Every structure is written in C-alpha cells, then in structure tokens.
Structure 1
Amino acid sequence: MDSTASEKEQLRQEKKALREEKKKLKKLQLQQEGQTQDSATMLPPPTPYRRVWRSTFRHRPITIMSHNILAQNLCKRTVHPLAGDMLKWKLRRRMVIEELTYYQPDLMCLQEMDNYDEFYKDELAKLGYTTLFQRHETKRHGCLIGYKDDVWKQIEYRTLDYDTDTSCKPAQTTGNIGQLVALAFRNDDGEPHSGVVLGNTHLYWRPNSNYERCRQAMIYMHHLMALKNELGKKDPADHWVPLMLGDFNTQPTDPFYSIVTGKPLTNEHLHALEISRRPFGDGPEIDDATQPLEDLSLCSDLKDIHELMALIGPDETMQSVYSHHKRLWDQQQRGADISETDHNRYGVGEPDYTNYAHDFKGTLDYMFIPNQAVILNILMLPPKHIVQPALPNCHFGSDHVSLMAEVLLP
C-alpha cells in the first residue's frame, strides 16, 4: 500500500472514531436528561389503576365513656365498710387512671371528680386529653369532660346550675350541675366540621326526690337539644349529634327513663312524681307507696309533670346504649350456667347494676344517644362474683363501673 492510500485509510479511521465519540456523547447527554432514543418509542408496562376508598358514612366511629369515679372526700368507712385499703387515695387514684389509660375513649364524661388540680388534670393531659371541669360552689367534687384536641375543636361550652335555672322552679336546693360542650370534628386539613353536642351531669341522689331529679334531667335534655338546634341554624350544612351521658341517679323504673326513651308514664310514675313535688330534708322520709296525697304539704307553685312536659318536654327521644346489654350478655353466656349472673332485673335490657355499693346495688348511669346512631360495641359489665360483696374492691377503684361503647353517629 502506497503512502497516499495509507494516509486515506488513517483519515477514514479517525473520522469513524470521531463519529463514534459523538454518538457516545449524544447518548450520554440524552441519558442525563432522562431520555433515551429507545424511551421515545416505548410505552409504560400495563398496571391496574389504584382507586380511592370513600366512606358512605359522614363520620368515623367514636368511643364514648361515662364513669362516676367516686370522689375521695366521699370515701367514708361508714358508707363503704367492706372496701378496706381500697379507700386509700393513692391506691384508688392509680386504679382510676390505669382504667382510663387502658380504654382511652375518644370522649369521656366523669362524675364525682375531686382533686382535679392536684392530680387528674395533669394525668389526663399526659394521656392527650383536654379537660373541662366544673363543680358547684357548695361541693368539693364536680363533673369533667375530656376530649383529644387533635381530633376535636371546642366550639362552645356551657354549664348548668339546676338550682338557679330559670326553666322551672326547683323543689329544693341540691348543688347539682351539668356540662354541655359542642365539639367539631377536625377534617384532614385540621379544620372543624360538624360534630357532637356532648352533655355530662350528676343528678340529685335522694331516692324519694323523684320530682326534683326528673326536673333536673328534663332541664339537662332541654338545654342539650337547644344548643344542638342553635348550632344547626348557624350553618345548615353542618350536622350536630346530641350525646347525653352521666350519673342520673335514676333507675330504669323511674319516670325520666320512660320520658327520654319515649315510653308512656305509668300511674306509678305519676304518683311518685306528685307526692315528691316538695323539698326533702335530711330527716325521716315518706313512704312513696303508702303516704296519702292529702297528708302531704305539696308546693303549689311547682309545676306538675304535665306542665313540665309541655314546657320543656323532649322534642325527640333517644336510645340508652346499655339497653342492649341483656341481649349481648345472653349471647356471651350462651351454653354456660347464667342462673347466678343473668342481667334482667329491670326487664328493659339494662344491666342489673352500674353501682354496686354496700348499701345500694342498681343501675344509675346511662349514655343516651340518637335512635339513628349505630352501636357497634359495648363494654360488658363484669359478672357479679367479680364485684361482690361490694365496690370498690381490688378490681375497681370506684363503687360505679364505667360505661363505654363504640358508636357510629348518624
């Protein structure tokens, strides 16, 4: 090969190498830009489209609790002679907090709350609860509502003093109070939207004071529904659900239970209300069943039950969450010997007791919710051998057992 041909071949090789180098640089440039000559013509591999779930219900299920925790200033040996060391404050307060820590309801209503500033306020804050505490100036214990601020936003808070409420005149001064709070659900971006109007109360305890206790309960329900309606008028797009909890000191056989659940008042109810339409002192009490009406000094300026119903009677009825307890108890005990633990004392589905003290055993505590609400789960009552002979004991720090349920709001 002559020199000219050799030079031409060398030039051709150099040009070829240059072209190859340019291709490499171009390919590298395309790769750096996230593109390749092949990707311009390739389609992504087929994959299923991921759709989004949306609930047909407006709100998620929530858990609610009502619990009379037994005020420490009421822990007297004469009242609880079988409690032993369980009346000691340091032991009982640990029991109460451990129970609240274990269940951690979304919303809690506690009664007979004392030592709030000294103990419960900080302990409940550690569990994430914002708390609202109220007591009458004549009492050392009161009521508390607890909720979690990351789930709820407080819209309005009101308190009730049954002694001074102007709805209707009281039969006597009792120092009992109630709480009402409107709590809005926080949506995904943290803004409040609709919610609940939650009530908490502790009504007058004296057994024969049927009239005053029924009056207090009707005032409580009247103001609860009024607040719900006020909020609904402000923004019709929002939906507010009433929840009425507390220690009503009312058995299922008493008048108010029939009133709130939409059952007719019996002649026995009317008689008990009429003969108790007066104040009761600390002395000997009348026998409701035998005392003739003409022998009683009734307060003529107190409205009778028919006038009360016309004035502040409920516009809507509610269901008692624990009216389902008997059915669930039977399912739980099916196939077992339930002769000693059957819950059917009242015949309306309520448990035989929520209070199991030395001198009284019966159902006094309730959680009333709308009839349209769905009850998903109920915290069952313990069998009687666990609470006998009386509470408090080594399993329970109060003479009342807590009520708790998971509900789906309408």
Structure 2
Amino acid sequence: MDPAKLTPEYILEQRRLRNLRKEQERKEKEALGLIPQDEQDKRPLYIKRPLLKVSDGDEGAPKIKIMSYNILAQTLIRRDLFPTNGKILKWSIRSTILLDEIKHYDADIICLQELDKLQLKTFWMKEFDKLGYTVKYHRYNTKNHGVAIIFKSKLFTCKHQSFIKYDHDLVHDEGEVVLPSARIATQNVGFMTYLEFQPFLLKQYPHLSNKNGLIVGNTHLFWHPFGTFERCRQTYMMLHKYKEFTRILSVILGNSKGFYSFFTGDMNSEPFDAPYLSITAKPIEYSGQAKNVLGCSLTYTYSQVRSLEKNEVDENDGLDDEQRENPTDPEPEVFMPTPDQDQLLLQMQNAHNTLKVRAISLYSVGYKLAHPENSGINNDRNEPMFTNWVNTWSGMLDYIFILTDWDNTEDFSHSVDTPEEIADKYNIKLLRLLKLPVPGDMGPKPNGQPRIYQYPSDHLCIMAEVQLL
C-alpha cells in the first residue's frame, strides 16, 4: 500500500471497522454458545429482572412472593427444535443457571412446570432442601415430567393435597351443567396444596387467623395448536376441583373461614383465547375470533394413539396427526360450526357460567401500572406481550391467578379488576410484579430461548409479591 495513504484518519477508520467486525463475530459466537471462557466470566449467565412497583405496602401484614416457571423439561429438548441455542441445552450447564435464577428471586412459593422426575431426584430435591424449601410433586404416571409446588418450610406446612387428572370425567353436583367429555387423552395434570401458616406467623400477624391458610395450585395444560377445546375443558376442571377441595377442607377444619387462594401455571392459552376468557371474563359468551378458534379445534381429528378408548377402531389408524385430512389453520378468521359443534360450544359456555368460581390474573390487575408500555398491547386484559419466546413463536401463556367465589349475577366480561378492588374484596394487596421484556429486549436473531446470557428456559418466570391483609 502507498505509505502516503496511511493517514491518521485512514488508520482510525480501519480500527473502527475492525472493532465492528469483532463485535459482530462475538454476537454470532454468543448466539451459538461459543464465547471464549475469559469473556464468559465477565458476563452474568442470565438476565436479572427487577420487581416493578404496583402499590405501597401496609404496616402489619406479611409479604409473600409467588413464582410460576415452566423450566423446560430436559426430556423434551432436541437439537432439531433448538438448532442455534448452543451449550445451554446441556443439563450440566442449564441446571446451574436455573438454580441461580430461582435463588436470586427468592420466592416464598415456587410453582414449576415441566420438572423432570429424574432431575427431581438427582438434583432439585437436594438443592431445594439446602435452601429450606419443601417440595410437593405430581405427574401423570406415563410422563417423564410433571409439576411441583415448592414452599419455604419456615413459613408454611402442607396439610392436604388434591390432584387433578384432566382426562377423567367429573362428578357433578345436582343442578350443574355437565361438562363435555374429554375428546382425547392429553395426560395433563394439576394439583393443589393446603398450606397452613407456621405458628410464629400467626403470632406476629394475628389477623391471619381469620383465614385457614393458603390454597396454592399449579398446572400445565394441554399443548396442541388445535387443542383449544380441550384447554377450555381443563380450565373448567381446574376451577371445579378447587371448589371441591375448599368444600372438603372446610368440612375437615370444621369452619367457614375460607382461604387465600392462588392458582398458577402454563395454561398454553393467550389472554384473547377462550380458555383464559372462560375463567376470567365471566360470564363468558363465545364470539368473534375466540369462538372461531374454539369451534375450529373441534374439527381436528387426533391419531389413534391419543384415543381414550383403547379398543376403538379408527379407519385412519396408524396415521400421524399431520397425515389426516385436518384443518391447517388453528386460528381461522371465519368458521361455521356444525349443529353438533354448536351444541358442544354452548354446553361448554353454560358449564363455565354456572360454576361459581372466578380467576383473577395478577399481571392483568397490576402490570399496566407497573410497565404500561408492555401491557395490553395485543390483548384487552392488560396482560404483557409474552412469557414464551422461541424462534418461531412468542406469546403470553403463564399466569398467577387469585381464585375467588363468583356470584353469577356479577358481570366481569369486559372489565379488569384493580389492585384496590382485590385488596378490599379478597384481602390480597398486590405490591410488585416481576418485569417481563418486550421484543426489542431480546436482541438480534437467532434469539429463541433458552440462550446463555439471556434466559435458561423457553419460558420466562413470572412472580408477584402480595400482602395478605
């Protein structure tokens, strides 16, 4: 090169371009989990998010932090599903980051979904015991992963549990509308724990004796693009089983003092879908896009392997779901149900509307106050944009609910509860919510989770801090 061209300006420009190339190479390696060890040690392995204020606390009432987290079952990880995620897919690496993240947020009650039975025995039981937690776990007997409710032993003791198998039919009370039967075997479950306050809490906060304690539930509903009808059925069962559990506990305890009641989980349903709306926007009337999606799900024929009748003969036996003559769009803009389908939709609607229990999402209640730029963007329930982020899809699937009695004359179909209302009516004051990112926070593609230096699961944990008044 002509030495005359090596001006100070030229040298500075070449250095700038070299640094840009290095930064781009670093980002590409980071996306593949290939950052050199010396650089790894300088960066946190996951993003720490703040708890955002919703309201001020009161004096003389305990604060409780409740977390819900789908931690991504290791048995479900395949390289073809996560082709660019790198070494975080290894359990030896991911387990350490998951544990550090859970320890950092220090929840009093932790509800986990997709917790592997193998890792429960070899890793989680030991680690949670070290941290002073008690672990309760439930799974379908043929599944390798399940759901867990984990709580600080110094605060609570578990007296009773109730288990939900969604493939089973319910025993209905006289006068209740009978829920449509399950169409397929989903093998999904949920369960509830009754947690009594430890004596020191009752001594420190005497008003807690006005309640019997806490009921905490956790579930993971059916995942399938055309599974909306089954999820709608499962949300009904969730509330029905809760109602049954509270009735049984009241008989055992011999009083009608009631409970602080929470239900969490991965509902595999967004805030504009029928399963979510059926339990929160009561009384529900299926209409518009929600009805189209719900009705369309009834047209899908599943393979024989999912059949509830083991001896049933299917003319398409041996075909995969994708090989059948099935609809291809789970969210059609227009759908005309058959008379039989219309009757099933009406039966589902009536069942939800005669069940006198309602769910209130805590993020729906308070996130608009805490983080307005990420509230109600793609829904009218003030929920955040997403808790699940993968290469091909993102959406809000995870929730922390309050469960409460509902007088079916009250109309919540188009309104969202406020923090003041839940404090006055249900003695639960919402203080803070764990911040959730917006799409611009997820960085350059490929950015599907889990990813080292971002999040160790394809879901983001959510957490609410409440005061028990």
TM-score range for the pair, normalised by the shorter chain length: 0.7 to 0.9
CA shift at 1:385, angstroms? 4.0
Q: How does 1:359-398 map to 2 (within 5 A)?
A: 359-370=392-403, 371=422, 372=426, 373-388=428-443, 389-394=447-452, 395-398=454-457
Counterpart CA distance in 1 for 2:227 and 2:438 is 31
Moved more, 268-277 or 255-264: 268-277
- Tell me which residue corresponds to 1:219: 237
CA shift at 1:237, angstroms? 5.8
Counterpart CA distance in 1 for 2:59 and 2:367 is 28
- Tell me which residue corresponds to 1:181: 193
Taking only the aligned residue pairs, the percentage that are identical comes to 30
- Tell me which residue corresponds to 2:466: 407
Counterpart among 287, 311, 314 of residue 267 in structure 1: 287
Q: Secondary structure at the match of 1:216?
A: helix
The Cα RMSD (Å) is 2.7
Counterpart CA distance in 1 for 2:243 and 2:391 is 36
Moved more, 367-376 or 155-164: 367-376
CA shift at 1:304, angstroms? 2.3
Instruction: Note the alpha carbon deviations across 1:67-115, whole angstroms, 9 max, x for none.
Output: 0000111111221223111111111101110011111211110000012
Q: How does 1:91-102 map to 2 (within 5 A)?
A: 91-102=93-104
Counterpart CA distance in 2 for 1:132 and 1:299 is 39
Work out whether 1:145 is the aligned partner of 2:189.
no
**Paired residue type of 1:380:** K
Work out whether 1:170 is the aligned partner of 2:182.
yes
CA shift at 1:231, angstroms? 2.3
Give the greater-gyration-radius structure (CA): 1
Moved more, 269-278 or 236-245: 269-278
- Tell me which residue corresponds to 2:13: none
Q: How does 1:170-319 map to 2 (within 5 A)?
A: 170-188=182-200, 194-233=212-251, 234-236=253-255, 238-263=257-282, 264-268=284-288, 269-277=290-298, 279-281=301-303, 282-283=321-322, 285-286=326-327, 287-288=329-330, 289=332, 290=334, 292-294=336-338, 304-311=344-351, 313-319=354-360
CA shift at 1:276, angstroms? 2.4
**Paired residue type of 1:133:** Y
CA shift at 1:306, angstroms? 3.5
| 1:329 and 1:343 in contact (8 A); partners too | no
Larger RCO of the pair (alpha carbons < 8 Å, separation 6+): 2
Work out whether 1:76 is the aligned partner of 2:78.
yes
| 2:390 and 2:449 in contact (8 A); partners too | yes
Question: Given the superposition, is the C-alpha separation of residues 134 and 345 from structure 1 closer, same or farther in structure 2, using an over 3 Å criterion?
Answer: same
Q: Taking structure 1 as the reference length, what is the TM-score of the superposition? A: 0.76
Runs in 1 of length 4+ with deviation above 6 angstroms? Answer: 189-192
Runs of 5+ consecutive residues of structure 1 not aligned to the other structure: 1-54, 331-337
Counterpart CA distance in 2 for 1:377 and 1:397 is 23
CA shift at 1:387, angstroms? 2.9
- Tell me which residue corresponds to 2:38: none
Q: How does 1:322-333 map to 2 (within 5 A)?
A: 322-323=363-364, 324-330=366-372
**Paired residue type of 2:137:** F
**Paired residue type of 1:409:** L
- Tell me which residue corresponds to 1:60: 62
Instruction: Note the alpha carbon deviations across 1:250-290, whole angstroms, 9 max, x for none.
Output: 00010122122234334133343333236534226413425
Q: Secondary structure at the match of 1:123?
A: helix
- Tell me which residue corresponds to 1:27: none
Counterpart CA distance in 2 for 1:130 and 1:156 is 14
**Paired residue type of 1:293:** P
Q: Taking structure 2 as the reference length, what is the TM-score of the superposition? A: 0.67
Moved more, 255-264 or 118-127: 255-264
CA shift at 1:311, angstroms? 4.2
Work out whether 1:344 is the aligned partner of 2:377.
yes
Work out whether 1:355 is the aligned partner of 2:388.
yes
Question: Given the superposition, is the C-alpha separation of residues 166 and 317 from structure 1 closer, same or farther in structure 2, using an over 3 Å criterion?
Answer: closer
Count of residue pairs the alignment pairs up: 342
| 1:198 and 1:244 in contact (8 A); partners too | yes
